[in-house]
């Protein structure tokens, strides 16, 4: 099995080192033969080649069995809305080129971190959500341009029935293996693309008579997620609404630093933390690498079908937390200073 | 002063009765002469006339000094994505026709309700946020259609510099009267309309050197709002991001039933709860009317400049809460059954 590591920018560089080290340990322990390569994407790729996703990186991606990815993004571009070449273009192109239409984001809480969230522990206890975010359509990939001499800008929020159907089926399939409950999130009271979304979901639902389907508008869903997260089981939604809801949901897990995601579709899968490049803490060695380690666990499970190995990684994280070790983002007033570790130590 | 009451659908019918009763009491107490009229909008207007915003209603709106509005929406349309005439079209048309480009949503917590939220009290104490949501642009009003024989649907997310500038100025002005901090929320790492948004906000900022400006991406903002709501003071954002963020923020106040909003712009102002038509509880007399009462308070303050009167309304709500009265949505396990009131009793 051949694994491509794409560290990307900022803390992506730091956390993927740890994610990869865990894959190496697992291979040694369980007697697997994983090979590795590395590729550039994002700001680092722009600096080196002028292109946020160089052709060489894309070739390496296509040739891999799975990709362990960090993050892309750099403050430089955020403060310059006119920059033509941007790190995120590399990420979006990768998603499109590799056909990664389904982004799975599990939200599960380690018991030890029940207190780390800003939400009350009694609201959180037992929460177990699996998001399916559509990843290659919507306003991320519709036509966009400046018109009217640069005085007006637009983006196009667009979905075809085919795109909605394939992500909906994945979500319904997952619902069948879990609590048989699915929530579809849209804004069908205003948007035509959401009305098409809802139509298709209602149609696909006919093939899953056992699944209890609920529709929520994105505004109500953003509210309910905080009010009553236990009401959520499997959730399916579009690209931009999924981007927002899953970041919001990260607060349930105490920190974005604890959440991994899997992007799958037509061939190779990409595994990455849901946190971004974290410019503010990059290079300080304080980033929480657990999301990258959990990404490695998802990789072992989903791309390689290695369930036992995947569970070994998760229980390793569990032991580290049970032993009281914390990174800064999940430490609290009661954590002794000597238990607060940096990126390397956790690895 | 002439006030138009537009109850709309579902619990809008119930709560505006209470909001209006409060305006009448204030008029009597402070010696004002308010006149009232009523108009149809939403599902009730479709049933009566076939049109979600009949010309007669729009005329009455234009002729009013302020509008006390309830909510629109009906489950019937939510389950039928193909319906051509929909209640929400009335609301969107009203916003556009009256030029209501600025939607103000204050998020403030009554001390008595600190425990009612799913968020920890220590995270909430002292939170005081004022959202400026742009209300007449964005994907709400861009072109939308079905193409490709109905198999594809799109909506257009669109902003002009003029539209961004006028809402940005309102937000900067408000920041000057408060903590001199402004957060602008967009998705400039992906969207062209967001890059235009950010460009204009940066430009307007030059006229407000004292205001500390911060940019956040919508996904990060949705996360931060739960993690650290005290970090927010004045927030300015587009129509769809504002829709999502402010509903999410309602959990800070314990319930959507406690939050009012003001929509202002070119002439008359519209005051409404941020909750919707609440089909599930409509007609049962259990809705929380306080958001409509607080809408009346905003109306007195913003449209009529009656600060003392507005504060009298807010302290009346405060007394009711201090006395221990609750509606179902803000009651908890410790609330005695005889203190849990219905819509009428609170009025
Ligand atoms: C970096 C950005 C383009 C990206 C997105 O919006 O998809 C990120 O927020 C994510 O969720 O993976
Ligand atoms: C009813 C709906 C169209 C409306 C909106 O999305 O603007 C509502 O959610 C609101 O926030 O006022």
Q: Nearest ligand, CA of residue B218?
A: 1
Question: What's the confidence (pLDDT) of residue B217?
Answer: 95
A219 counts as catalytic: yes
pLDDT band, very low/low/confident/very high, at B78 (cuts 50, 70, 90): confident
Question: What's the confidence (pLDDT) of residue A279?
Answer: 87
Question: What's the confidence (pLDDT) of residue B255?
Answer: 81
Question: What's the confidence (pLDDT) of residue A100?
Answer: 98
Cβ atoms within 10 Å, residue B268: 21
Q: Which residues pair with A269 in a beta bridge?
A: A66
Q: Give B279's DSSP letter.
A: T
Residues with Cβ within 8 Å of residue A208, at least 6 apart in sequence = A172, A175, A176, A182
Question: What's the confidence (pLDDT) of residue B346?
Answer: 52
> In chain B, what percentage of residues exceed pLDDT 90?
84
Residue B247 in marked binding region: yes
Asked if A307 has any chain B CB less than 8 Å from its own CB, the reply is no
By Cβ distance, the residue of B88, B148, B198 closest to A190 is B88
User: Looking at ligand 2, which atom is closest to the CA of residue B135?
Assistant: 7
Residue A345 has pLDDT above 60, yes or no: no
Structure tokens at B280: 């599930």
The average pLDDT across A315-326 equals 93
Q: How far apart are the first and last CA of chain B?
A: 22
CB contacts under 8 A, A 91-130 vs B, are 92, 118-120, 123
Torsion angle defined by CA atoms of residues B40, B43, B47 and B52, in that order, rounded to the nearest 10 degrees: 60
Q: How far is Cα A141 from Cα A100, in angstroms, rounded to an integer? A: 13
- Give the least confident one: A40-49, A107-116, A232-241: A107-116
Minimal CA separation from B119 to chain A, in Å: 4
Residue pair A137/A160 in contact by the 8 Å Cβ criterion: yes
| Tens-place pLDDT, residues A77-92 | 877 878 899 999 999 9
Torsion angle defined by CA atoms of residues A72, A76, A80 and A85, in that order, rounded to the nearest 10 degrees: -50
Q: How many separate helices (H) and strands (E) can be counted in chain A?
A: 13, 14
Q: How many residues does chain B have?
A: 347
Residue B278 has pLDDT above 50, yes or no: yes
Structure tokens at B276: 């919707």
Structure tokens at B239: 């129509």
Cβ atoms within 10 Å, residue B333: 4
Fold match, A1-102+257-347 / A118-253: yes
Of B228, B59, B239, B231, the C-alpha closest to B167 is B239
Query: Which of B43, B74, B81, B231 is the mutation pick for testing A, counting most A CBs within 10 A?
Result: B81
DSSP string, A196-252: HHHHHHHHHHTT-TTSEEEEEEHHHHHHHHHH-GGG-SEEEE-HHHHHHHHHHHGGG
Residues of B in contact with A159 (CB under 8 A): 152-154
Q: How far is Cα B235 from Cα B182, in angstroms, rounded to an integer? A: 6
Residue B340 has pLDDT above 90, yes or no: no
Residue B118 has pLDDT above 60, yes or no: yes
pLDDT, averaged across chain A:
94
Residue pair A184/A213 in contact by the 8 Å Cβ criterion: yes
Structure tokens at B324: 């221990």
Instruction: Report CA Rg, chain B.
Output: 20
Asked if B85 has any chain A CB less than 8 Å from its own CB, the reply is no
The average pLDDT across A298-325 equals 95
CA distances from residue B270 to B7, B260, B267 in whole angstroms, order as listed: 12, 11, 10
**Phi, psi dihedral angles at B157 (to 5 degrees):** -90, 110
**Phi, psi dihedral angles at B249 (to 5 degrees):** -65, -20
Domain B1-104+259-347 fold:
Isopropylmalate Dehydrogenase (3.40.718)
Domain A118-253 fold:
Isopropylmalate Dehydrogenase (3.40.718)
Residue A287 has pLDDT above 50, yes or no: yes
Q: Which one of the listed residues B80, B173, B207, B219 is annotated catalytic?
A: B219
Q: How far is Cα A9 from Cα A32, in angstroms, rounded to an integer? A: 29
Q: Which one of the listed residues A20, A159, A187, A329 is annotated catalytic?
A: A187
In CATH terms, the superfamily for domain B117-253 is Isopropylmalate Dehydrogenase (3.40.718.10)
Query: For ligand 2, is residue B96 a contact (CB within 6 Å)?
Result: no
Residue pair A118/A183 in contact by the 8 Å Cβ criterion: no
Q: How many residues does chain A have?
A: 347
Q: How far is Cα B272 from Cα B6, in angstroms, rounded to an integer? A: 10
CATH 1.10.10.10 fits A1-102+257-347, yes or no: no
Minimal CA separation from A145 to chain B, in Å: 7
Distance in Å, CA B90 to ligand 2 centroid: 11
Residue B281: helix, strand or coil by DSSP?
coil
Q: How far is Cα B177 from Cα B179, in angstroms, rounded to an integer? A: 7
Residue pair B140/B75 in contact by the 8 Å Cβ criterion: no
Structure tokens at A196: 């098409």
The domain spans of chain B are 1-104+259-347, 117-253
Residues with Cβ within 8 Å of residue B19, at least 6 apart in sequence = B5, B68, B289, B292, B293, B295, B296
Q: How far is Cα B82 from Cα A199, in angstroms, rounded to an integer? A: 8
Q: How far is Cα A247 from Cα A276, in angstroms, rounded to an integer? A: 10
Task: Give the neighbor-by-neighbor strand order of the sheet with A212-217.
Answer: A35-38, A2-8, A66-71, A269-273, A260-264, A102-108, A128-134, A234-237, A181-186, A212-217
Cβ atoms within 10 Å, residue A283: 12
Residue B179: helix, strand or coil by DSSP?
coil
Residue A243 in marked binding region: yes
Q: How many CB pairs under 8 A join A and B?
A: 190
Q: Give A89's DSSP letter.
A: H
By Cβ distance, the residue of B82, B189, B247 closest to A88 is B189
| Tens-place pLDDT, residues A187-205 | 999 999 999 999 999 999 9
The average pLDDT across B130-137 equals 98
Q: How far is Cα B195 from Cα B186, in angstroms, rounded to an integer? A: 8
By Cβ distance, the residue of B92, B154, B241 closest to A156 is B154
Which pairing describes strands A128-134 and A234-237: parallel, antiparallel, or unpaired? parallel
Question: What's the confidence (pLDDT) of residue A347?
Answer: 46
A155 counts as catalytic: no
Structure tokens at A220: 């109500």
Residues with Cβ within 8 Å of residue B251, at least 6 apart in sequence = A223, A226, A227, B117, B118, B119, B226
Query: For ligand 1, is residue B189 a contact (CB within 6 Å)?
Result: yes
pLDDT, averaged across chain B:
94
Query: For ligand 2, is residue B7 a contact (CB within 6 Å)?
Result: no
Q: How far is Cα A232 from Cα B291, in angstroms, rounded to an integer? A: 27
Minimal CA separation from B71 to chain A, in Å: 13
By Cβ distance, the residue of B142, B191, B256 closest to A223 is B256
Handedness of CA A329, A330, A333, A339 (dihedral sign): negative
The average pLDDT across B196-212 equals 98
The average pLDDT across B121-125 equals 93
Q: How far is Cα B92 from Cα B100, in angstroms, rounded to an integer? A: 10
pLDDT band, very low/low/confident/very high, at B347 (cuts 50, 70, 90): very low
Residues of B in contact with A123 (CB under 8 A): 118
CB contacts under 8 A, B 1-60 vs A, are none
Asked if B240 has any chain A CB less than 8 Å from its own CB, the reply is yes
| Tens-place pLDDT, residues A226-282 | 999 999 999 999 999 999 999 999 988 888 889 999 999 988 999 999 999 998 899
């Amino acid at each position: 099995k051949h694994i491509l590591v794409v560290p990307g920018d900022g803390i992506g560089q730091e956390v993927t080192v740890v994610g990869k080290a865990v894959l190496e340990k697992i291979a040694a322990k369980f007697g697997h033969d994983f090979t590795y390569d590395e590729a550039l994407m994002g700001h680092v790729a722009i600096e080196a080649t002028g292109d946020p996703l160089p052709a060489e990186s894309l070739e390496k991606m296509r040739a891999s069995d799975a990709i362990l990815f960090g993050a892309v993004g750099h403050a430089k571009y955020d403060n310059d809305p006119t920059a033509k070449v941007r790190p995120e273009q590399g990420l979006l192109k990768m998603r499109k080129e590799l056909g990664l239409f389904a982004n799975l984001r599990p939200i599960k809480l380690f018991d030890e971190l029940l207190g780390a969230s800003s939400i009350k522990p009694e609201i959180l206890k037992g929460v177990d959500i699996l998001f399916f975010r559509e990843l290659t359509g919507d306003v991320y990939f519709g036509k966009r341009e400046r018109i009217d001499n640069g005085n007006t800008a637009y983006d196009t929020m667009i979905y075809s029935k085919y795109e909605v159907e394939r992500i909906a089926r994945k979500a319904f399939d997952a619902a069948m293996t879990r609590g048989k409950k699915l929530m579809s999130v849209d804004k069908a009271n205003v948007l035509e693309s959401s009305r098409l979304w809802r139509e298709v979901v209602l149609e696909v639902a006919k093939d899953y008579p056992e699944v209890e389907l609920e529709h929520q508008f994105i505004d109500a869903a953003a509210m309910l997620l905080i009010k009553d997260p236990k009401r959520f089981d499997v959730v399916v939604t579009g690209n931009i609404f999924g981007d927002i809801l899953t970041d919001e949901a990260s607060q349930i897990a105490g920190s974005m630093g604890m959440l991994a995601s899997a992007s799958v579709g037509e061939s190779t899968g990409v595994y990455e933390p849901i946190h971004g490049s974290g410019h503010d803490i990059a290079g300080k060695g304080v980033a929480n690498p657990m999301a990258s380690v959990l990404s490695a666990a998802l990789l072992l499970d989903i791309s390689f079908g290695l369930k036992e190995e995947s569970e070994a990684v998760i229980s390793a994280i569990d032991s580290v937390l049970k032993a009281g070790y914390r990174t800064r983002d999940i430490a609290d007033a009661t954590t002794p200073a000597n238990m607060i570790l940096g990126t390397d130590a956790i690895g």
